[in-house]
Amino acid sequence: MTGVRNLRASLKPGEVLCSHCTAVCCRYFSITLDTPKTWEDFDLIRWYMTHGRVSLFVDDGQWYLVIHADCRYLRPDHLCGIYETRPTICRSYTTDECEFDNDHVFEKYFESPEQIWEYAEAILPPRETEREQETHLPVLHAH
Ligand code: SF4
Ligand code: SF4
């Protein structure tokens, strides 16, 4: 990361960091998730993570689902194809703390359904099997 950090610091006046970047910030989006607390919560997250390139991270206690997908308007030269009409979130994003040279270490980071399931197994009480759940069903008595 030293090289890219030097690049950020050595930009000449008028030079834009993005022109040295492959548009990292246009290749994913993330959404916040409620902190999973139950097997059902983790099972849903596991399902999210079975779909294509998806990862999960936790930062400052907040859980995020990351969908790794290139924006459909990203051009082969890494520039925006709808620059004049790009969404507000793109307009408000700046290079100040962007991912160009981001070496931030997340509190937690998961890349596969198996990883999130292993984590659930480590922190939750043992899961009831389907047979055990069936024994909790009310018993119908014939009269
Ligand atoms: S804002 Fe940062 S991550 Fe996005 S294209 Fe520019 S330099 Fe790359
Ligand atoms: S609309 Fe343009 S700036 Fe926004 S994510 Fe897509 S390519 Fe990037």
Per-residue pLDDT, averaged over 54-73, amounts to 96
Spatial distance between the Cα atoms of 58 and 106, rounded to a whole number of angstroms: 6
- Across the strands, what pairs with 64? 32, 57
Question: What is the H or E stretch that residue 64 is in?
Answer: strand 62-67
User: Is 86's C-beta closer than 6 angstroms to any atom of ligand 2?
Assistant: yes
- Residue 86 carries which side chain, given as an amino acid letter? R
Q: For the chain, what percent of residues have pLDDT higher than 70?
A: 87
What is the maximal distance between C-alpha atoms in the chain?
A: 89
User: Is 67's C-beta closer than 6 angstroms to any atom of ligand 2?
Assistant: no
**Would residue 142 count as lying in a domain?**
no
**Would residue 54 count as lying in a domain?**
yes
pLDDT class for 68, splitting at 50, 70, 90? very high
Number of domain units in the chain: 1
Report in angstroms the alpha-carbon separations of 50 from 1, 97, 105, 113, 133.
31, 30, 24, 6, 26
**Would residue 12 count as lying in a domain?**
yes
**Would residue 95 count as lying in a domain?**
yes
Spatial distance between the Cα atoms of 46 and 119, rounded to a whole number of angstroms: 11
User: Is 27's C-beta closer than 6 angstroms to any atom of ligand 2?
Assistant: no
Domain that holds residue 113: 2-126
**Would residue 63 count as lying in a domain?**
yes
Per-residue pLDDT, averaged over 74-80, amounts to 96
**Would residue 32 count as lying in a domain?**
yes
Residue nearest ligand 1's atom 5 by CA: 23
**pLDDT value of residue 2:** 47
Mind listing the pLDDT tens digit for each residue in 20-48?
A: 999 999 999 999 999 999 999 999 999 99
pLDDT class for 10, splitting at 50, 70, 90? confident
